[in-house]
């Protein structure tokens, strides 16, 4: 099983631990990732919020570059996934737009990409039994709040799960032996790309999410998006919280369950330390 790999800017430096753990678990599960050599920024929120042309041009060019590596493309960042899938959906359904965009990006994208999030690859491409056989360190006693955010579940054409009550992450965590909580903030927005631009948003939005996870006695929050991670992780010091909550990428939890070395997953890169909690649960 081979995929073209689009890490996106966040995974390049800021959230390189997500990149490391994604590569590690997929390799362990027999999925080969081939990084697209000349990939560049998909435009994230900034493009679609300010410029109609860039909205589609940036993702389209990246798709054109990606399919030269492989038609199947793995995208771990929920924001990149969202932008690439939205543009791809438009291009697949509008020949005139496709022609137009191809002219402006000086390329010839054919609308032939299959874009997937690693969560989908793990759950849809691999057999459940194969995965469970490889679990050497089940996440017993761990209570996880699975947080999906916005861009993985909206809109329908870009979503990987139900818009209101997604369950993919919960299913995976349950398979790994963790308990997941039922809570009301699975798909509430954490502030997305406002991390730097408007901290007030993050403090308010991420704060509410963290508070509900604390109310539900979660040991940690599992995420599948670098922006969600940053927003939930970065400012906990400045929020009015009863306690701090470690934020972990699902790939990190999966990596631990698969018996991968703690240090190799670079979990210590998080602002809110997770090691103490993981030690307590016997997962390190």
Partner 1 sequence: MPRTGVFVCHCGSNIAGKVDVETVAAKALNFDRVVFSTTYKYMCSQPGQEVIKKAVRDNNLDRIVVAACTPNLHGKTFQRCIKTVGLSPYLSEMASIREHCSWVHTDPDEATGKAIELVRLATAKVRKNVALLPLNIPVTRRALVIGGGIAGIQSALDIAAAGFEAVIVEKEPSVGGRMAQLDKTFPTLDCSACILAPRMVEVATNEKVIIHSYSKIEKITGSVGSFEVQIKKKARYVDLGKCTGCGTCTEKCPVKVDSEFNLRLSTRKAISTPFPQAVPNVPVIDPHHCRYLTLGKCGVCQKVCQAGAVNYEDKDEIIIEKVGAIIAATGYDLFDPKKYGEYGGGRYRDVITGLQFERLINASGPTGGEITRLSDGKTPKTIVFIQCVGSRDEQKGKPYCSKICCMYTAKQTILAKEHIPDVQCYVFYIDIRAGGKNYEEFVKRAQTDYGAVYIRGRVSKLYEQEGQIMVKGMDTLLGEEVEIPADLVVLATAIVPRREARTLAQKIGLSYDQHAFYNEAHPKMAPVENLTLGIYLAGACQAPKDIPDSVAMASAAAAKICGLFSRDFLSIDPIVASVAETCCVGCNTCVAICPFKAISMEIRKDRTGQERQVATVNTSLCQGCGTCLPNCRSRCISLNNWTTDQLYAEVMTI
Partner 2 sequence: MSKQFSSENIARLNAEILVKCGVDLKECYQCGKCSAGCSSNWMMDYRPHVIMRLAQLGQRAAILASQAIWVCTGCEICSARCPRGIDVAAVVDSFRQLAVAEDVRYGEHDIPLFHQYFLKETRDHGRVRELPLVANFKIHSEHPLSDFALGPTLLAKGKIKLVDDAKGSGVNDLQELFKLKV
Where does this chain bind partner 2 (CB under 8 A)? Answer: 9, 12-14, 16, 38-41, 43-55, 57-58, 61-62, 65, 104-107, 150-151, 154-155, 163, 187-189, 191-194, 196-201, 204-205, 234, 269-271
185 scored as a contact of partner 1 (CB under 8 A): yes
Task: Residue 27: name its binding partner from partner 2, partner 1, none (Cβ under 5 to 8 Å by kind).
Answer: none
**What are the backbone angles phi and psi of residue 228, rounded to the nearest 5°?**
-60, -45
Q: Is the peptide bond before 155 cis (omega within 30 degrees of 0)?
A: yes
User: In the bound complex, what is the minimum distance in angstroms from residue 151's beta carbon to partner 1?
Assistant: 17
Q: Which helix (H) or strand (E) holds 255?
A: helix 250-257
User: Candidates 56-64, 134-142, 163-171, 230-238 — which segment interacts with partner 1 by CB under 8 A?
Assistant: 163-171
Residue with Cβ nearer partner 2 (14 or 214)? 14
Output Rg (C-alpha) for the chain, integer angstroms.
18
Residue with Cβ nearer partner 1 (163 or 239)? 163
Residue with Cβ nearer partner 1 (189 or 254)? 189
> Rounded CA gap, 88 and 85, in Å?
5
Task: Residue 239: name its binding partner from partner 1, partner 2, none (Cβ under 5 to 8 Å by kind).
Answer: none
User: In the bound complex, what is the minimum distance in angstroms from residue 128's beta carbon to partner 2?
Assistant: 29
Six-digit token string for 131: 């995965």
User: In the bound complex, what is the minimum distance in angstroms from residue 135's beta carbon to partner 2?
Assistant: 29
- Dihedral of the alpha carbons of 279, 129, 252, 84, in degrees to the nearest 10: -160
Q: Which helix (H) or strand (E) holds 180?
A: strand 179-180
Contacts of 94 (CB under 8 A, 6+ apart): none
Six-digit token string for 193: 């790309």
19 scored as a contact of partner 1 (CB under 8 A): no
The residue from 164, 200, 217, 240 that contacts partner 1 (CB under 8 A) is 164
Residues in the chain: 284
Q: Between 193 and 222, how does the x/- string for binding to partner 1 read (CB under 8 A)?
A: -------------------x--x-------
183 scored as a contact of partner 1 (CB under 8 A): yes
Contacts of 214 (CB under 8 A, 6+ apart): 241, 242, 243, 245
> Rounded CA gap, 14 and 25, in Å?
20
Q: Report yes or no: 180 and 253 within 8 Å, Cβ to Cβ.
A: no
User: In the bound complex, what is the minimum distance in angstroms from residue 122's beta carbon to partner 1?
Assistant: 24
User: Candidates 16-24, 138-146, 162-170, 234-242 — which segment interacts with partner 1 by CB under 8 A?
Assistant: 162-170
Contact positions toward partner 1, by CB under 8 A?
Answer: 162-165, 182-185, 212, 215
């Amino acid at each position: 099983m081979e995929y073209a790999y689009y890490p996106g800017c966040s995974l390049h430096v800021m959230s390189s631990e997500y990149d490391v753990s994604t590569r590690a678990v997929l390799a362990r599960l027999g999925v080969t990732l081939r990084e697209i050599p000349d990939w560049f920024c998909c435009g994230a929120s900034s493009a679609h919020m300010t410029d109609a042309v860039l909205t589609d041009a940036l993702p389209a060019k990246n798709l054109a570059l990606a399919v030269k590596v492989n038609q199947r493309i793995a995208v771990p960042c929920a924001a990149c996934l969202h932008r690439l899938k939205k543009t791809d959906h438009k291009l697949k359904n509008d020949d005139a737009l496709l022609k137009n965009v191809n002219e402006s990006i000086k390329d010839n994208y054919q609308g032939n990409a299959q874009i997937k999030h690693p969560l989908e690859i793990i759950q849809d491409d691999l057999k459940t039994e194969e995965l469970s056989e490889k679990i050497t360190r089940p996440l017993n006693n761990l209570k996880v709040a699975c947080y999906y955010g916005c861009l993985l579940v909206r809109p329908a054409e870009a979503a990987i799960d139900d818009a209101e009550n997604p369950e993919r992450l919960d299913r995976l965590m349950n398979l790994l032996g963790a308990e997941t909580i039922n809570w009301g903030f699975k798909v509430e927005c954490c502030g997305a790309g406002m991390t730097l631009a408007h901290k007030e948003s993050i403090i308010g939005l991420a704060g509410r999410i963290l508070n509900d996870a604390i109310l539900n006695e979660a040991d940690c929050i599992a995420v599948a998006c670098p922006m969600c991670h940053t927003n939930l992780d970065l400012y906990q010091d400045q929020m009015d919280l009863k306690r701090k909550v470690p934020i972990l990428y699902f790939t990190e939890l999966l990596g631990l369950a698969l018996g991968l070395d703690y240090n190799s997953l670079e979990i210590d890169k998080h602002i809110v330390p997770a090691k103490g909690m993981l030690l307590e649960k016997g997962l390190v």
